[in-house]
Structure 1
């Protein structure tokens, strides 16, 4: 088993060496970004949060009017496909999988088919839960709510630009706002905060991605009686929080500072959330 990215891929159900993958042309994924992707973690022979991934996959396919291949169309089929590839990938330990889907065929904007191609790749998974020492609000890009903003891929260029701004400003994290100044998300993670015993997170109407870890944390918090509030919140409201953190499939990261405001990185409710979801 290897600690490097896998040299294998699965293309439309066929296991191939990466260098043998030949993407068909014309390619609507390249031409029009006519598709989406999922990032998943497979550990111990199981895919974490599989029902959530399957639900978002099905919702994204429906939104784009794509037919899912049978091997991806149900939670059971998706799980079997992913675990089979993870086992064959040669990656040691937990595996980070990327599943990319795009519409087949050519044409101009009006698509000629609902059939989808798909590609699976694998790399080692390393949890990412380090403290975010300094975060700030984005100035160069805003999120936009749409029928597709919940899934990953259609608005990928927004996050490329946000990551460039984060790097240019020397920040550990950048927080995106929507067009009306409401908090939306981080560059590649959901954002949460704690205040007066309540867990807050932006609603999907902010244009944020419907994050898998976001959904899981809200379920866990509610199951343990922690009040949760999803909504449209001004940046100033986040700055009054006791603690703030980001969450995605790679980990939960406490935020020490946003702009000039300090937060409690060791907040007891954040410790509770970490403990509850680890069960």
Structure 2
């Protein structure tokens, strides 16, 4: 397998990073997970938005090659080199260059892209629970994907131990935030709801896209702070990330409404 390291195509086994690497030492960077479909990056403008926001929050200077129009073409060539087929999972990692302790020596970055074959996500409704071991940690950094992700690691471990498909993470105040690998949405009376960013949820690419597209099709949208009981009253509850949308069938063994026609209507917004 090959990867892109600062724009250079190299075999994965030739990658060498120093122990002073700031991603390893301080989690001083961020990452983006992208889906490449038939040679095109899904939701590339939304990914660019989030990359710019992450760079601003971390005071990083993104190189022009990550923002230029030819970057998706570079990614497509990498996926082709790795024989990923029509669907590929792309991971872009960006971290601060240089050494130093907590005080950086520079705001320049280094970056790496990997590409692996992907499969179409399952459409089977999710059996979910409420996370009991951890909660979100709202901060200026919680809206993008950082290298330091113990909340999601611990929550995913709990999910596996409980034999569930996913868990709903709550804010420190006990309000709905997100799932372990997706944003959370629900529909009630033709209004699309999703937790507000102050809950500590990720400002996901699919979240951005739905909040833009829904009003264009006559939907009302609302970013809110709500208790878990709001999901029991919803007409539809679903998860969404860059791979797509997936309905929730249950939460804490409580059966949720699952309107197939309504879910198809939501999917048609994309």
When normalised by structure 2's length, the TM-score is 0.95
**Match status 1:262 vs 2:258:** no
**Rounded Cα–Cα distance in structure 2 between residues aligned with 1:247 and 1:91:** 23
What residue is the counterpart of 2:167 in the other structure?
A: 174
List alignment gaps of at least 5 residues for structure 1.
Answer: 1-6
Q: Shift of the alpha carbon at 1:155? A: 4.3
**Match status 1:82 vs 2:75:** yes
| Structural mapping, 1:82-161, within 5 Å | 82-161=75-154
| Structural mapping, 1:218-233, within 5 Å | 218-233=211-226
What residue is the counterpart of 1:3 in the other structure?
A: none
How much is the aligned-residue C-alpha RMSD, in angstroms?
1.5
List alignment gaps of at least 5 residues for structure 2.
Answer: none
**Match status 1:18 vs 2:12:** yes
* 8 Å contact from structure 1 (residues 72, 81) kept in 2: no
Per-residue displacement from partner, 1:12-45 (whole Å, max 9, x unpaired)? 1110011011113311101111111000011222
Per-residue displacement from partner, 1:208-251 (whole Å, max 9, x unpaired)? 00100111122221111111111111112222212111011122
* 8 Å contact from structure 2 (residues 177, 195) kept in 1: yes
Q: Shift of the alpha carbon at 1:182? A: 0.9
What residue is the counterpart of 2:244 in the other structure?
A: 251
Q: 1:62 aligns with which of 56, 73, 78?
A: 56
* 8 Å contact from structure 2 (residues 235, 258) kept in 1: no
**Match status 1:48 vs 2:42:** yes
Secondary structure in structure 1 of the residue aligned to 2:9:
strand
| Structural mapping, 1:206-217, within 5 Å | 206-217=199-210
**Rounded Cα–Cα distance in structure 1 between residues aligned with 2:48 and 2:96:** 18
Q: Shift of the alpha carbon at 1:77? A: 4.2
**Match status 1:184 vs 2:177:** yes
**Match status 1:37 vs 2:31:** yes
* 8 Å contact from structure 1 (residues 148, 154) kept in 2: no
When normalised by structure 1's length, the TM-score is 0.92
* 8 Å contact from structure 1 (residues 149, 155) kept in 2: no
Large movers: runs of 4+ above 6 Å: none
Q: How many residues align?
A: 270
Secondary structure in structure 2 of the residue aligned to 1:142:
coil
